[in-house]
A = this chain, B = another copy of it.
Amino acid sequence: MTEPNPISYGAHRLACPAGTVLFRPDDACSGFVVLQEGSIRVSLTSAGGREIVLYRVGPGEICLQTFTCLAEGRTYSAEGVAETELKGEMIPPGEYERRMAQEPDFRRAVFTAVAHRFADFEHLVESLASASIEARLAEALLARADAAGGVHLTHDALAAEIGSAREVVSRQLSRFERSGIVALARGKVTLLSRSALGHKAAGS
């Protein structure tokens, strides 16, 4: 199940290509990651096969899963995948403990990051509990569009972003397309009106 991890260590350096699975549910935590470049997608897959993206880790952010595992000495409960090539540092558990104890700046940075993450989680819970699919999808499209308005994700991937099903996303995208808000192509959505999507995301 768990093939050798292609992460390379060079005196705590971490570098790995896009697509690398950094951790899976039940893996033990091998250290605290400090990203300098790249993005990690952390997602949860339920028994029924429904996947939902919890958050992404970028430079200057922390992986909450990792924090949790280190603090409680437990295994991971979610999956972490490198979305792009990664560069950063891997701080082994012992070293992490030491720095938390001795470096107020490091500690403060971790706290702030944890607090920030928590705010994201709250937003996710609120969305799941009460926002319409239309609003959640509009928000996800805006969040993941590049400068030119291109969103390079399959309907399946978009469904995971909002914790819904592929068919539901397909149908909603069709409605957006019929309204002239987006253009659809295989593996790609192009935003034609960010303002209209913003409106939908806010729930109107």
Which residues of A come within 8 Å of B, CB atoms?
Answer: 44, 46-48, 50, 52, 54, 64, 67-68, 71-72, 74, 77-78, 100-101, 104, 107, 111-112, 114-116, 118-119, 121-122, 124-126, 128-131, 163, 203
Contact = CB atoms under 8 A, between A and B. Distances in A.
A137 to B, nearest CB: 15
A128 B44 CA distance: 12
A77 B124 CA distance: 13
Contact of A114 (B48, B74, B114): B114
Contacts of A115: 67-68, 71-72, 74
Interface of A is mostly: helix
Contacts of A44: 122, 125-126, 129
A104 B98 CA distance: 11
B72 A116 contact: yes
A163 B127 CA distance: 11
Contact of A122 (B77, B112, B119): B77
A103 B50 CA distance: 42
5 contacts: A50-B129, A54-B125, A71-B112, A77-B122, A100-B107
Contact of A163 (B71, B124, B129): B129
A37 B72 CA distance: 24
Given A54-B125, A68-B119, 18 more contacts: A44-B125, A44-B129, A47-B130, A48-B130, A50-B129, A50-B130, A52-B125, A52-B126, A52-B129, A64-B118, A68-B115, A71-B112, A74-B115, A77-B122, A100-B107, A101-B104, A128-B128, A129-B163
